[in-house]
Amino acid sequence: MVRSLETRGIRAASLSRRTGFDLQRSSADQLVRALDGVDALIDCSDAADRTIATFEASARALSLAAGRAGVERIVAVSIVGIDRPGLAKAAYYQGKLAQERGLAAGTVPVTVVRTTQWFGFADQIFPHLPLGGFGRVGLAPRMRMQPVANSAVGDRLARAALDDAPGTRVELAGPEQLMFAELIRRVWRARDVRARVAQVPIPGVPGFADGSLLPGPDAELDTTTIEQWVATGR
């Protein structure tokens, strides 16, 4: 995302715990000082404990600080489908929905970019054991999705910060629907490694498999394939 902004000639800075910016521990005045001189803020933050309360409280603190610092707009990266009934018992998704609410409670206009799962999700969620020349084997949640390239998300967030009218909401997805297990297999196949994946249903969260994670009819679709993403590394 920073790269996408810099290629447009925009000066961008990354704020994180590594740079002393902490939504849960920093005081309101510290947050305001960190945002001094910022025109647009892109919120890619997470909650360390992943609770709904922390997501919302952190978002409210950020929105309040942004308003005091004179930030003109906030862009939030979120997830497609988090307000659908099938995902009502998925705590992390409800936390992201609370984050949207917390940001919207402030005075700074918020543009929400909801995306489907990223191709990199395959490496984050798939716990596997290496089997030497036999590849990888492991488990994956049973999920129907339409994943998108990480780089496409970064580019879309940059556009939202610079070009979109403040206060809008967009959806972004990749070029094809598939099960999460197939995404994992294709990512590893593109790396010339075989992956054997067993799908595991998630009790109480029908939205993972019933299509709740799929984009709506008005979603923007990026054309980058899984294989192209692996080849470019982004």
* pLDDT tens-digit readout, 13-55: 788 888 878 888 888 999 999 999 999 999 998 887 889 999 9
Two tokens, residue 197:
């994946």
Two tokens, residue 1:
């995302």
Q: What is the mean pLDDT of residues 75-92?
A: 96
Chain mean pLDDT for the chain: 90
Region of 192 please: left (phi>0), alpha (psi -120 to 50) or beta: left
Going from N- to C-terminal start, the domains of the chain cover 2-232
Determine the pLDDT at residue 77.
97
pLDDT-derived band at 148, boundaries 50, 70, 90: very high
Q: What is the mean pLDDT of residues 140-154?
A: 95
Domain 2-232: which topology? Rossmann fold (3.40.50)
Which element (helix H / strand E) includes 152? helix 150-162
What is the value of pTM for the model shown?
A: 0.91
High-pLDDT (> 90) share of the chain, %: 70
> How confident is the model over 171-199, as pLDDT tens digits?
999 999 999 999 999 999 999 988 889 99
Determine the pLDDT at residue 6.
65
Query: 150: number of CA atoms within 13 Å, CB side?
Result: 17
